[in-house]
Structure 1
Amino acid sequence: MLTINMAIAIPFIIAALIPFVYKRFTRVHIGWFVLFVPAVLFIALARYIPAMAKGNTYLRSFDWIPSYNINFSTYLDGLSMILGLLITGVGTLVILYSIYYLSTNESLHRFYLYLLLFMGSMLGVVFSDNMMVLYVFWELTSISSFLLIAFWFHRKKSREGAQKSLLITVSGGFGMLIGFIMLYVMTGTFSVREVIATISTYTDHQLFLPAMLLILLGAFTKSAQFPFHIWLPDAMEAPTPVSAYLHSATMVKAGIYLVARFTPVFGGDATWFWLVSGVGLFTMFWGSFTAVRQVDLKALLAYSTVSQLGLIMSLFGIGSAAYYYDFSTSSIIYTQATFAALFHLINHSTFKGALFMIVGILDFETGTRDLRRLGGLMAIMPVSFTIALIGSFSMAGLPPFNGFLSKEMFFEAALNIGQLDIFSLSTWGVIFPIIAWVGSVFTFVYCLIIVFQTFFGERHLERLERPPKEASIGMLTAPAILALLVVGIFFFPNLIGRYLLTPAMASVYPQLALEGNLGQTISAWHGFNTELMMTIGVIIVGALLYLFRNYWKGVYKLFPASWSLDALYNYLLEQLEGSAYSITNFYMTGSLRNYLVFIYLFFIALAGGTFLYTGALSIDLSGDAPIGIYEGLIVLVMIIAAISILFAKSRLTAIILNGVLGYSISVVFVLLRAPDLALTQIGVETMTTVLFLLCFNFLPDWKKEDAPKRSKALNMGIAVSVGVLFVLIALSVQNGDLFNSVSSYFENAYELAGGKNIVNTIIGDFRAFDTMLEVTVLLIAGIGVFSLAKLKTKKGDQNLEE
């Protein structure tokens, strides 16, 4: 069977081959070549399903950075299996759809390269057991999604949407990284499994709560939870296959996956419960409420995705309460919320993926997604209408579609949470079913908008950019398969429940897996209970709100665009850019002197401050050799030459004084019995002096201007400070004895390298590769100088000659 490591690597390998294949097979749509990648991976993962249903898991680990306890560890269990099947299964359908959606005039090699990079990154996220490896793939999903969203980079909105998604998700990812490091500090391991096994002893640790909050920050930003949801609607500027894949089935589910994976770590904590369930529930309401006001079908689906993600997130939050009871018999009922979350995770990918593809078909065939220009398309596009009807009514929670089953379970979980006597739920628990019901009402309204305003009513052909017609069979195949799954899951839900959901529950509740208390039966009929009454109420109230929407839509005027989170984001971005320009203009003055001032001041502050703060300045001259009269005279000459350079009136004088400094150093080497270093210093100094004289001969006359007294004082202060600091550091380092000196190793140069001169053996033997690379650099530079010297200008081209 295909290993999980290979499943992660294959998309990256094929992505690297795409540019070469694209050039070879120009007459064949490259999508057919890429299609086999997710299809083969889906089949390979599906072969693990029977074993997973029996409780088997698969772990493989390879050393990566063992000194830091970072290994490339992959772990396949029920939870990662669900996400892996969604990534590869929906990925297969999306690529099939894109073959007919994208024109061959597009840069298809770039599109599929980015898509495979994203697919491999998502597989890496869900299969990684090491938190550092997970983080690497996490950020790769952000980068690859940025490239996909900005695929049509000639559009300003595409670039801005990609930028917003990258800034928000990467910022959350940085927080998540810090949270992972905090968990490592607490537990001493980066393995998620080992953290889960040992976390019970660290719940009172001072880093436990900060780690939880930072990990949730990463999850909330990636899964578009309020208030970080604003990036998702702007990301809809991407091609429709990208929206159907990233923003309904995969990328936005990464944050959901993270919460599910770390529920065994933080579950049972009041902060985790309220943040996950509360933020999720409000996101569910706000997304559905905002979706109703949208006139662009893709924007409507974007906010509906935000709402559905909030619903799933709230269910995981409610299910985490089971950890508070330490899995007593009375807590089993609350695990049903997690079961519902996993079920809706699958259902959402089916009906939302189908809806995104249908909206893409509408845009492809009519030239618009604007609801104000659409209408009466049912007779012209009957297949598209049927698929849209199935997807919309499933999202609305109507039978006989899979969304009805998970929506009923959502209502049940919201009602049951009020029975808990923890986390003040006896008082605030009533809020859960109320918000859940109100959010579902608005969900029903926008689902009716999708169906009736698009396919019913008066037809406005004159408002469309092209005459509408039904899409081709190839383009309809992918959404039709998803629509069949929507219906099929409703009639056979327990197949998924037994083979996928129950193993995934074992990942979230490993303690219950040992007791075998995870099996649950999904049924479409439970009698005339409260949940069914809530659904009937949603239908009645939602239908009335849809019919009379023109009378109450004025409520949206209470939320002007200038007060929105998007406006706040734009304001903060403008302020950040303005500050960046101000700071850049402050230090990018074009003056070499100013740059040197900044560099030296930074060095003085950083190095000097570090030595003072740590108390590392420790000077002991008792063991030094005495300074003779000759050394003192040479140093005095060097001091006089250095000071004289400041008062030089010509370049020639400055070069000669600089040469005095260099040659004086060679004399010091002679006095210290280092003739090799002295010869090297003389050679280098002679060469540099000659080059200075040669270059300065072509420069204009030097007119030294008197600098202001303040600049002179600053220059003198910096020069003296740097000089003193270097001397102090050198003297302090001389007394440092933290490690054994390496000089003893080179004292055996004759035995090790056969050379009697230690310096020569170091350069020619011990550091032979370094010396070779230095020579190579000089050779390349010499070739470059020779090429420039031999370069001949074309006739009439005077710019190069000047």
Structure 2
Amino acid sequence: MTLLHWAILSPFLFAILVPFLYKAFRNVHTGWFVLLLPVALFIYFFQFISITKHGDTIKETVGWMPSFGINFIAYIDGLGLLFALLITGIGSLVVLYSIYYLDKKKEQLHNFYVYLMMFMGAMLGVVLSDNLIVLYMFWEFTSISSFLLIGYWYHRERSRYGAQKSMLITVFGGLSMLAGFLLLYLMGGTFSIRELVGISDQLMTEAMFIPAMLLVLLGAFTKSAQFPFHIWLPDAMEAPTPVSAYLHSATMVKAGIYLVARMSPIFAEESLWLWLVGGFGIFTLFWGSFNAVKQTDLKGILAFSTVSQLGLIMSLLGVGAAALHYEVIEDSVYGIATLAAVFHLINHATFKGSLFMVAGIVDHETGTRDIRKLGGLMNFMPITFTIAIIGAFSMAGLPPFNGFLSKEMFFTGMINVLEMDFYHLNTWGVIFPVLAWIGSVFTFIYSMIIVFKTFTGKHQPEKLEKKPHEAPLGMLISPIILVSLVIIFGFFPNILSHRIIGPAVEGIMPPDYKVDEIHISFWHGPTPELFMTFGVILFGILLYLLQPRWKKIYSWIPERFTLNSFYDGGLIRSERGAYNFTIGYMTGFIRTYLVYIFSFFIGLLIFSMWFNGAFAINTDDLASIGIYEVAIALLLIISSVTILFARSRLTSIISLGAAGYTVSLFFVLFRAPDLALTQLVIETVSVALFLLCFYHLPPLSRHEERMGFKLGNALISIGVGVVVTLFAISSYSTKLFDSISEYYIENTHDKAGGENMVNVILVDFRGFDTMFEICVLAIAALGIFSMIKLRLTRRKEG
């Protein structure tokens, strides 16, 4: 493997070492060792900027399953590199922050950092994989690792609930996305994203193009918390604050954003892509910001603000992709929208990461995140207050911070929708700027709530669990670095233009597109965007001051009609239905289960033979039947019937053994001595085990001795016998495909180096199958031994 592949997999490998480091260095916080890896990876990926800024890419391939078109293709372009830098850069700051946030004496740090490393590696795999199946594999790793991180405090019910909720929703989307990927493969004949982009025009003519697009978007929307799948994100805030700052501001929730950006060149020419990506995005912006205002928990506010900001970025990607294929790039419509999406992606990671860390500091130093109990902390935590002002004002889109610049570009992209004369945007397109402006007003309001409800107003020490004080310097370093970037990117945005933003935009474009000169500045004159900003500030201040008068609108929607209520109700009903269904067929009687199994067996085989026209009897080339075969067959029948009517368990066991030994005689007649020996060994062991088990059973009861004839059982028994007989005759008489036996005959000696075909098939051709069968038997043996051991222990104890 190449160095790039090792870089992607290094977090997984390092995760193996974390428990050993935790045990070996008890007096040192494990985070100090973990911090080295993301810092090293950030430095490693940073060097690729000099390559991608010129439009070049890096592609390294390691064969995995080439016969299936599945290879580990590591691909770095401007878009993938941007996400890799966010993953490792923000990851480094989060690990540093966690060292001071998590107490090494109280927390299971080895678990935390194992999960965190797994997540970092999974995210790197998602953004740097060109193969769809490999991308999906890493995608599901993000769901698993985030489930573990959200449920890190598993002793808390809300943590378990949030972890389960995120898992159910995101894995549902991931499986849908996998189905979309498989449809793309069936249409395009490749799992390579680059190759699919090259044949996007051909894919559009396929009947399964729209279903593939819908399934892929379902995966992206669930992961990036787009309406109505956003409900998992607020409950995921039960995770430790470092997890929230990492997963839910900079990385995991942006995996869906990445997927939409990466797949845009394939699907963007379809009008439905605009309305789904742009429409769901702009409504998510409004809905998230509207619901953020009513929250009373700092992390709850930040959770809904994350939903809102993700909707903003998603809407920009939808608008930009539409313009690309209708040759309006020269009007800068596409350039502005996509440029704003990439720029705001970076800005959001900086200001939101810092705000999550502020929420963690407030919780850590006061014992609560409830804004109804907070207030007046400015005097006790001046540095944290300064960080909160910078982060919140940037999120609100106020100058001179970076959020103002990308928010103005966002308004420009939404206004330009009205100039598009396709997809009915010149009429229905007015929805975009209207919802964009309304959502920005509520964004301004919740940003002010975060700052002023927490740090100004009346101090309420009686409602706090701890006496507030400033956080230690180590906990402040990471948010200080992030808000410093907020200011630097605000005053000097063009340090990102050509090195980061431009190459990332080109990564979303078709291969032959090159981004022209990018210049981001504060002042563009008295534009509509500027007046929209003035309106946001004016109405935002007014609504913030008048909150008590209009907040009653949140009570208009009854709790039972909310999405969370539908989710909880659906989960309860599904669990209850599954329980009732299960107890309906799980009667506790083996006889009942055999009825189910054999009934399904009969129906399935009859349907299969009917569907394939396999009801046929061909007597050609049959061997003659001798006296020995007739005698052994009669003996087999007698043995089998004796089992049914025996009044003693011993008689039944002996008859069963006789039937097995009789079958071995058939193998001798048919010149299969290895099978005969196997059958003899199996029967001998089986009879011995049966005798050993039945020796400890009580004598047959009167009920068992007088068991009468049951028509249902008789019909099922006869049906199994008849169907198996018909199936055996049909398999000889009907050939639906060429037999595989010729392959084994030709290759047993040459490829496996063996003479006994049966042994070679079991050991070589079906080696894994045999190995797993042995594993199953070993697990069963361990289970039986454990139960016997447990029973003996209980007897000794009393």
TM range (shorter): over 0.9
Who is 1:243 aligned against?
A: 244
Who is 2:285 aligned against?
A: 284
CA distance 1:464–1:593, change in 2 (3 Å): same
**3-state SS of the aligned residue for 2:191?**
coil
Q: After TM superposition, give the deviation of residue 379 of structure 1 in Å.
A: 1.1
CA distance 1:709–1:391, change in 2 (3 Å): same
Who is 2:371 aligned against?
A: 371
Who is 1:269 aligned against?
A: 270
Please give the alpha-carbon distance, in whole angstroms, between the structure 1 residues aligned to 2:759 and 2:280.
67
Please give the alpha-carbon distance, in whole angstroms, between the structure 2 residues aligned to 1:223 and 1:783.
45
Q: After TM superposition, give the deviation of residue 610 of structure 1 in Å.
A: 2.4
**3-state SS of the aligned residue for 1:71?**
strand
Please give the alpha-carbon distance, in whole angstroms, between the structure 2 residues aligned to 1:522 and 1:785.
67
Q: After TM superposition, give the deviation of residue 633 of structure 1 in Å.
A: 3.3
Tell me if structure 1 keeps the 8 A contact 2:267–2:273.
yes
Who is 1:700 aligned against?
A: 698
CA distance 1:711–1:512, change in 2 (3 Å): farther
Who is 1:113 aligned against?
A: 114
Who is 2:617 aligned against?
A: 619
Tell me if structure 1 keeps the 8 A contact 2:647–2:705.
no
The CA deviation string for residues 36-66 of structure 1, in whole angstroms up to 9 with x for no partner, is 1111111111111122111110001111111
Who is 1:490 aligned against?
A: 490
Please give the alpha-carbon distance, in whole angstroms, between the structure 1 residues aligned to 2:131 and 2:769.
40
The one-letter code of the counterpart of 2:393 is: F
Please give the alpha-carbon distance, in whole angstroms, between the structure 2 residues aligned to 1:743 and 1:531.
72
CA distance 1:709–1:187, change in 2 (3 Å): farther
Q: After TM superposition, give the deviation of residue 122 of structure 1 in Å.
A: 0.2
Q: After TM superposition, give the deviation of residue 202 of structure 1 in Å.
A: 2.1
Please give the alpha-carbon distance, in whole angstroms, between the structure 2 residues aligned to 1:673 and 1:577.
55
Tell me if structure 1 keeps the 8 A contact 2:380–2:469.
yes
Q: After TM superposition, give the deviation of residue 711 of structure 1 in Å.
A: 8.1
The one-letter code of the counterpart of 2:32 is: W
Who is 1:396 aligned against?
A: 396
CA distance 1:632–1:359, change in 2 (3 Å): same
The one-letter code of the counterpart of 2:284 is: T
Please give the alpha-carbon distance, in whole angstroms, between the structure 2 residues aligned to 1:193 and 1:778.
42
Does 2:210 match 1:212? Answer: no
Who is 2:795 aligned against?
A: 799
**Which of 539, 548, 552 is equivalent to 1:554?**
552
Please give the alpha-carbon distance, in whole angstroms, between the structure 1 residues aligned to 2:504 and 2:765.
55
Please give the alpha-carbon distance, in whole angstroms, between the structure 2 residues aligned to 1:778 and 1:266.
45
The CA deviation string for residues 683-720 of structure 1, in whole angstroms up to 9 with x for no partner, is 54344334433432221011263799998222112212
The one-letter code of the counterpart of 2:111 is: R
Greater mean alpha carbon deviation, residues 573-582 or residues 351-360:
573-582
Within 5 Å, which residues of 2 pair with 1:72-87? Answer: 72-87=72-87
Who is 2:4 aligned against?
A: 4
Within 5 Å, which residues of 2 pair with 1:712-751? Answer: 712-735=710-733, 736=735, 738-739=738-739, 741-742=741-742, 745=745
Please give the alpha-carbon distance, in whole angstroms, between the structure 1 residues aligned to 2:247 and 2:772.
48
Q: After TM superposition, give the deviation of residue 681 of structure 1 in Å.
A: 4.1
Does 2:196 match 1:195? Answer: yes
Please give the alpha-carbon distance, in whole angstroms, between the structure 2 residues aligned to 1:196 and 1:445.
42
Tell me if structure 1 keeps the 8 A contact 2:754–2:760.
no
**3-state SS of the aligned residue for 2:467?**
coil
Tell me if structure 2 keeps the 8 A contact 1:60–1:74.
yes
Who is 1:298 aligned against?
A: 299
Tell me if structure 1 keeps the 8 A contact 2:328–2:334.
no
CA distance 1:44–1:725, change in 2 (3 Å): same
The CA deviation string for residues 659-682 of structure 1, in whole angstroms up to 9 with x for no partner, is 332233234344445566555544
Who is 1:56 aligned against?
A: 56
Greater mean alpha carbon deviation, residues 566-575 or residues 554-563:
554-563
The one-letter code of the counterpart of 2:522 is: A
Please give the alpha-carbon distance, in whole angstroms, between the structure 2 residues aligned to 1:337 and 1:563.
35
**3-state SS of the aligned residue for 1:531?**
helix
**3-state SS of the aligned residue for 1:202?**
helix
Q: How many residues align?
A: 795
CA distance 1:789–1:725, change in 2 (3 Å): closer
Who is 1:660 aligned against?
A: 658
Please give the alpha-carbon distance, in whole angstroms, between the structure 2 residues aligned to 1:175 and 1:663.
52
Please give the alpha-carbon distance, in whole angstroms, between the structure 1 residues aligned to 2:654 and 2:485.
86
Q: What root-mean-square deviation, in Å, do the aligned CA atoms of Structure 1 and Structure 2 show?
A: 3.2
Who is 1:412 aligned against?
A: 412
The CA deviation string for residues 390-442 of structure 1, in whole angstroms up to 9 with x for no partner, is 00000000001000000000111111110110011111122211111111111
Q: After TM superposition, give the deviation of residue 618 of structure 1 in Å.
A: 3.8
The CA deviation string for residues 470-492 of structure 1, in whole angstroms up to 9 with x for no partner, is 00111001000000000100111
CA distance 1:317–1:674, change in 2 (3 Å): closer
Tell me if structure 2 keeps the 8 A contact 1:4–1:127.
no
Tell me if structure 2 keeps the 8 A contact 1:322–1:332.
no
The CA deviation string for residues 57-115 of structure 1, in whole angstroms up to 9 with x for no partner, is 00011111111100100110011111111100000000000000000120001001100
Q: After TM superposition, give the deviation of residue 729 of structure 1 in Å.
A: 2.3
Q: After TM superposition, give the deviation of residue 787 of structure 1 in Å.
A: 9.3
Please give the alpha-carbon distance, in whole angstroms, between the structure 1 residues aligned to 2:496 and 2:337.
16
Greater mean alpha carbon deviation, residues 218-227 or residues 581-590:
581-590
Who is 1:337 aligned against?
A: 337
Q: After TM superposition, give the deviation of residue 791 of structure 1 in Å.
A: 8.7
The CA deviation string for residues 527-567 of structure 1, in whole angstroms up to 9 with x for no partner, is 11111001001101100001111011111111222110000
Who is 2:570 aligned against?
A: 572
Greater mean alpha carbon deviation, residues 347-356 or residues 676-685:
676-685
Who is 2:456 aligned against?
A: 456
Please give the alpha-carbon distance, in whole angstroms, between the structure 1 residues aligned to 2:797 and 2:298.
60
Who is 2:474 aligned against?
A: 474
Please give the alpha-carbon distance, in whole angstroms, between the structure 1 residues aligned to 2:232 and 2:204.
34
The CA deviation string for residues 753-794 of structure 1, in whole angstroms up to 9 with x for no partner, is 898xx5898699989989997999999899989999999999
Who is 1:176 aligned against?
A: 177
**3-state SS of the aligned residue for 1:799?**
helix
The one-letter code of the counterpart of 1:248 is: S
Who is 2:641 aligned against?
A: 643
Please give the alpha-carbon distance, in whole angstroms, between the structure 2 residues aligned to 1:662 and 1:313.
67
Tell me if structure 2 keeps the 8 A contact 1:506–1:518.
no
Please give the alpha-carbon distance, in whole angstroms, between the structure 2 residues aligned to 1:731 and 1:207.
41
Please give the alpha-carbon distance, in whole angstroms, between the structure 1 residues aligned to 2:367 and 2:773.
62
Scaled by the length of structure 2, what TM-score is found? Answer: 0.94
Please give the alpha-carbon distance, in whole angstroms, between the structure 2 residues aligned to 1:732 and 1:483.
75
Q: After TM superposition, give the deviation of residue 138 of structure 1 in Å.
A: 0.4
CA distance 1:34–1:627, change in 2 (3 Å): same
Identity percentage of aligned residues = 52
The CA deviation string for residues 286-334 of structure 1, in whole angstroms up to 9 with x for no partner, is 1000000011111000000100000000000110112331x35545333
**3-state SS of the aligned residue for 1:705?**
helix
Q: After TM superposition, give the deviation of residue 269 of structure 1 in Å.
A: 1.6
Does 2:581 match 1:583? Answer: yes
The one-letter code of the counterpart of 2:45 is: L
The one-letter code of the counterpart of 2:739 is: F
Within 5 Å, which residues of 2 pair with 1:593-612? Answer: 593-612=591-610
CA distance 1:674–1:743, change in 2 (3 Å): farther
Who is 2:521 aligned against?
A: 523
The one-letter code of the counterpart of 1:454 is: T
Please give the alpha-carbon distance, in whole angstroms, between the structure 2 residues aligned to 1:763 and 1:135.
33
Please give the alpha-carbon distance, in whole angstroms, between the structure 2 residues aligned to 1:121 and 1:616.
49
Who is 2:134 aligned against?
A: 133
Who is 1:536 aligned against?
A: 534
**3-state SS of the aligned residue for 1:75?**
strand
Please give the alpha-carbon distance, in whole angstroms, between the structure 2 residues aligned to 1:243 and 1:352.
10
CA distance 1:801–1:746, change in 2 (3 Å): farther
Please give the alpha-carbon distance, in whole angstroms, between the structure 2 residues aligned to 1:365 and 1:745.
75
Please give the alpha-carbon distance, in whole angstroms, between the structure 1 residues aligned to 2:598 and 2:356.
57
Please give the alpha-carbon distance, in whole angstroms, between the structure 2 residues aligned to 1:527 and 1:772.
75
